[in-house]
Amino acid sequence: MSEAVLAISSEDPVLETDFAKEMVRQMRAIDTYGTYDNWPVEKILEPFVLTKEKKREIPVVGDPDEIVMARVRAFYNAISALIEKECGLMAVPMLNLTHEGFGRAVITVGKLVVMDKTLRDVHRFGFPSLSKMKDEGDKLLAVALEIIGLYPKVAGL
């Protein structure tokens, strides 16, 4: 994949946000062979951006491969890490996916479920732009932090 083909610009201000930095950290964490070590940030996050053209190329029905499932895990791991950073309590992501790409993502803090998301068509997991991915992550993070604020005793158990 050449630089001209990338949907993410190296000057994109979203790349400087905590969410994008955490996503890169999570992607590098799952890279057991160090392939991403010399890659630019925009190339690491590129698979998360599914433009309309890219989405059209993916069949409507399909099974997710391990690479796509690892990306889904990285997304929810990043949200968990940001929850921990914000509130100081350990957030645990749990992902349950069938081989067909259906399932559920749950994040718990203590005994409190702070995020519960039903997943469908995981083989088509992605966002129209990097900004949309950040917005979705920020929305999930804000709701989780609000729930923790409402029930701090349960979150602290």
**How many domains does the chain fold into?**
1
For residue 8, being part of any structural domain is answered with no
Report pTM: 0.90
Q: pLDDT tens digits for 62-102?
A: 788 888 999 999 999 999 999 999 999 999 999 999 888 89
The CATH number of the domain where 122 resides is what? 1.10.3100.20
Contact between 134 and 19 (Cβ < 8 Å): yes
Q: Where are the beta strands (DSSP E) in the chain?
A: 91-97, 103-109, 112-119
On whether residue 106 sits in a domain, the answer given is: yes
Classify residue 88 as exposed, middle or buried by CB count within 10 Å of its CB (0-12, 13-18, 19+): exposed
Domain span including residue 101: 13-155
The answer to whether residue 148 sits within a structural domain is yes
Cα 115 from chain centroid (whole Å): 13
Asked if the structure places residue 114 within a domain, the reply is: yes
**Position 105 in a domain:** yes
The answer on pLDDT for 5 being more than 80 is no
5 domain residue, yes or no? no
Residue 25 maps to a domain = yes
Q: Are 58 and 124 in contact (CB under 8 A)?
A: yes
Q: Is 96 helix (H, G, I), strand (E, B) or coil?
A: strand
